[in-house]
Amino acid sequence: MKFNTKKLSLLLSILALTTLTACSQNAEDSKTSGPIREVQENVEEENTNNTIHEVQESTEQAPEKDSPLDLLNQLATLSKSTEEIYVTDDFIVGEDEDINPGIYDLEITGGSGNILGDRADVRSLYINWVGGAEGVGDYPSKIRIILFEGDVLELRNISKVKFNAVPEKVEPSNELGIGEFIVGRDIVAGDYKLSTNATLDPEYDNIGWDISIYNDNNGKSRDQSLTATNNDVVIRLKDGEIVSTDFYNTDRDSSTDDARLIFSEF
């Protein structure tokens, strides 16, 4: 076994057992992409910005009317936990690679540093966190992450990790940690006012929670923040959207793993 080393084409992952293709991502690309129902006629020749239904409609074995939420729930069935892995190179996600497509709690067990990556498709769903082993610095040691066929995960100054598969069925919650969460699965759709159980230091007016919400139906992301000086925030969540969260902890006496972004019905 080889060891490998922080816009959504769900079907590339969900069809990991059938026909899968991938394309590279440019992190400096625009935050928009084509609508999901535009048909890509030739996946292998035009691997440029596929979305859920573009790839799905080009594959005869795939159902034609699954929603983004349906496809994400199917993706969860592909997740396979790993033992502790030494980081010696980038991780490539695929059926025949070390990491299967799926939904994971990425657990950092050695070192601390950047968690980056290139999405094979869906450029508005970025991989960009800082993490560290438990007790090392003020970083989270566990980050929820969605991985699709062909994604590449780059870990900088992190020496060991585990990929813990998230169960196929989960109980929705109004308190989310750090990472990527699915509306209609991890949290119920609706309008919410944001708060947190973590300390937001008023000395830092631009530091706290960063939130990005990806909607595959229009291929766009919208961003929001919750800080000490921007603390009156309401957001709207729709089924199938992906909520990406990150938190910068300025409280040395509290664990970042315990920080929660709280969604109160509005």
Domain residue spans of the chain: 10-165, 175-265
151 and 219 Cβ atoms separated by less than 8 Å: no
What pLDDT, on the 0 to 100 scale, is given for residue 124? 80
- Rg of the chain taking only CA atoms, in angstroms: 18
**CA-to-CA distance for 238 and 192, rounded, in angstroms?**
11
pTM of the model: 0.79
What pLDDT, on the 0 to 100 scale, is given for residue 137? 73
For residue 164, what are the contacts with CB-CB under 8 A and spacing of at least 6? 81, 104, 105, 106, 107
Q: Which residues of the chain have pLDDT under 50?
A: 1-48, 52-53, 55-60
**CA-to-CA distance for 94 and 179, rounded, in angstroms?**
21
24-37 pLDDT, tens per residue?
A: 333 334 333 433 22
Q: Which of 239, 260, 90, 118 has its CA nearest to residue 179?
A: 260
What pLDDT, on the 0 to 100 scale, is given for residue 252? 83
| Residue written as token pair 């300025």 | 250
What pLDDT, on the 0 to 100 scale, is given for residue 98? 86
Query: What is the pairing mode between strands 208-215 and 242-247?
Result: antiparallel
What pLDDT, on the 0 to 100 scale, is given for residue 223? 96
What pLDDT, on the 0 to 100 scale, is given for residue 132? 96
In three-state secondary structure terms, 126 is: coil
What pLDDT, on the 0 to 100 scale, is given for residue 66? 86
146 and 242 Cβ atoms separated by less than 8 Å: yes
What pLDDT, on the 0 to 100 scale, is given for residue 50? 59
201-221 pLDDT, tens per residue?
A: 999 888 999 999 999 988 899
229 and 205 Cβ atoms separated by less than 8 Å: yes
**CA-to-CA distance for 90 and 158, rounded, in angstroms?**
11
